[in-house]
């Protein structure tokens, strides 16, 4: 297919690369053009504006940072909705506001476009390996048309429902992670305070009912002080804020979500937003 990929960062770079590996014709747009250099070296063309990048594409995929970025690339002057050809699939794989995407999808259909919200889980390691979990909202026929593309980037690919259903599923995912990653940090803190060999402790409890992806992957990083981002704190704060807003609109009280968000916001305020989510261990010992 003729594809435009917008947003070449930690996640977008390997995802677009997998599509190129599969033989698709991929054009690129990213605000920092140097990030696209590895793909340009392989034959992709990087554009200075969205319009010429998307104007002849059958599928347009976005993987940007924040809801304001999603709104800008789709609804802004010179953006996707102004320039995408009729019948094109437009697929946002950013984690963003479900309400925002539903608004974009409604406008897109009026222009004859085929919108899908398809946020992912699995971090940079899943993006590199092509094993992401992809949660998709939109029309069934559009999901089926995009499925061959998703299969090059992910392993678990589920059509969750209508517009916004992918984003709502991702919110549930982030809420679960918020509890899991903070629980691992508390277990490590407890083990340290009681004088345990932390590697042995994690190796033991990860094989039982307490085991989780967060424990197996981020637990060892917490012990070693490796805070390199597989997923940035600043992006997790964005996701958890969206989840909290959506839960409040539905009258839900989610105390673990609120507590985790508060802790991560405090870290971001201290200039730690570019660290990985496992750096939450640093909050223990503080008055958290």
Mean pLDDT to the nearest integer, 206-219: 96
Query: Is residue 113 within 8 Å of residue 90, measured between CB atoms?
Result: yes
Instruction: CATH 1.10.1040.10 in the chain: give the residue spans.
Output: 168-283
Q: What percent of the chain has pLDDT over 90?
A: 95
Positive or negative, the CA dihedral 249, 90, 145, 133 is: negative
If pLDDT is split at 50, 70 and 90, which confidence band does 288 have? very low
pTM, rounded to two decimals: 0.92
Q: Is 45 a catalytic residue?
A: no
If pLDDT is split at 50, 70 and 90, which confidence band does 286 have? low
Work out the burial of residue 228: count CB atoms within 10 Å of its CB; fewer than 13 is exposed, 13-18 middle, 19 or more buried.
exposed
Which architecture does CATH list for 168-283?
Orthogonal Bundle (1.10)
Instruction: CATH 3.40.50.720 in the chain: give the residue spans.
Output: 2-162
User: From CA 278, how far away is CA 54, in angstroms rounded?
Assistant: 37
Q: Which pLDDT belongs to residue 230?
A: 84
Annotated catalytic residue: which of 27, 155, 170, 270?
Answer: 170
Q: Which pLDDT belongs to residue 123?
A: 85
pLDDT over 60 at 114, yes or no: yes
Computed over every residue of the chain, the mean pLDDT equals 96
Which CATH class name applies to 2-162?
Answer: alpha beta
If pLDDT is split at 50, 70 and 90, which confidence band does 217 have? very high
Query: Is residue 135 within 8 Å of residue 112, measured between CB atoms?
Result: no
């Amino acid at each position: 297919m003729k594809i435009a990929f917008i947003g070449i960062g930690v996640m977008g770079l390997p995802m677009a690369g997998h599509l190129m590996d599969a033989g698709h014709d991929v054009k690129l747009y990213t605000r920092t053009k140097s990030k696209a250099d590895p793909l340009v070296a392989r034959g992709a063309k990087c554009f200075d504006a969205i319009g010429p990048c998307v104007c002849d594409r059958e599928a347009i995929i976005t993987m940007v940072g924040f809801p304001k970025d999603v709104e800008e690339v789709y609804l802004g002057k010179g953006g996707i909705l102004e320039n995408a050809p009729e019948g094109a699939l437009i697929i946002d794989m950013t984690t963003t506001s479900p309400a925002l995407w539903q608004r974009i999808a409604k406008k897109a259909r009026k222009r004859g476009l085929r919108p899908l919200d398809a946020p992912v889980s699995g971090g940079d390691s899943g993006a590199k390996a092509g094993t992401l979990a992809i949660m998709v909202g939109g029309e069934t026929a559009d999901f089926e048309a995009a499925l061959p593309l998703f299969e090059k980037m992910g392993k678990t690919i589920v059509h969750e429902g209508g517009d916004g259903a992918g984003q709502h599923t991702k919110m549930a995912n982030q809420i679960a992670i918020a509890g899991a990653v903070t629980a691992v940090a508390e277990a490590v803190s407890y083990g340290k305070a009681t004088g345990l060999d932390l590697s042995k402790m994690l190796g033991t409890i990860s094989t039982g009912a307490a085991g989780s992806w967060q424990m197996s992957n981020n637990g060892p990083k917490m012990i070693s002080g490796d805070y390199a981002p597989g997923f940035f704190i600043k992006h997790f704060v964005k996701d958890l804020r969206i989840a909290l807003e959506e839960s409040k609109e539905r009258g839900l009280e989610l105390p673990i979500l609120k507590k985790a968000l508060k802790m991560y916001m405090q870290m971001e305020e201290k200039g730690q937003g570019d660290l990985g989510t496992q750096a939450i261990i640093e909050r223990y010992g503080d008055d958290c």
